[in-house]
Structure 1
Amino acid sequence: MKKFTYLFIALFSLSLLTTSCREQKSTGEKIEEAVDDTGDAIEDAADDVSDEVEDAVDNK
């Protein structure tokens, strides 16, 4: 019975050690992601303005 208890404790401990936690982003990664998102938003806005200017020129 003791061996079974020790085996259970060992397996439980092993499962706790091998279970991965959710990956957390570092501050640098968060900043990099925010900069990339901002750059994408600026590019989208520039494309929208370009399309509007082309439409305005075509309508004249």
Structure 2
Amino acid sequence: MMLRDKLSGVLVALGLLAGLGACQNKDDATAGKGPAEKAGAQVDAAAAKAGEALNKAGEKTGQALQSAGEKTGEAVKEGGEKLENTAKDAQTKE
């Protein structure tokens, strides 16, 4: 009788453990992973976010450099025109 009671207690305990294991969310990215795997997943996520931020910063920097280059080109063109006009004025005065 005692063996049967112990065996039924063990079976009930195993049934409860199996039931609790089935309740675990399988969609969780860290489900069933150890501490190192969880940390690695977090590092991967952080690296992806940092990469996206760097891409955005690079795009903004590229746009700013292009705008600065266009403004510099316009300023050089205006300076060249002024220099040319000054040279023409100097030739006509001679």
TM-score class, shorter: 0.5 to 0.7
Question: What is the match of residue 26 of structure 1?
Answer: 34
1:7-46 mapped onto 2 (5 Å cutoff): 22=24, 23-46=31-54
Structure-1-length-normalised TM-score: 0.58
Q: What residue ranges of structure 2 are gaps of 5+ in the alignment?
A: 1-11, 25-30, 69-94
Aligned mates of 2:65, 2:50 — CA distance in 1:
22
Question: What is the match of residue 47 of structure 1?
Answer: 55
Aligned mates of 1:59, 1:33 — CA distance in 2:
39
Question: What is the match of residue 3 of structure 1?
Answer: none
Deviation, 1:25, is 2.0
- The percentage of counterpart residues that share the same residue type is 20
Structure-2-length-normalised TM-score: 0.41
Give the 4+ runs in structure 1 shifted more than 3 A: 18-23
Between 49-58 and 21-30, the greater mean CA deviation after superposition: 21-30
Q: What residue ranges of structure 1 are gaps of 5+ in the alignment?
A: 1-12
Aligned mates of 1:30, 1:24 — CA distance in 2:
9
SS state of the match for residue 47, structure 2? helix
Aligned mates of 2:32, 2:41 — CA distance in 1:
13
Q: Which has the higher contact order (CA 8 A, sep 6+)?
A: 2
Corresponding pairs, count: 51
1:54 is matched by which residue type in structure 2? G
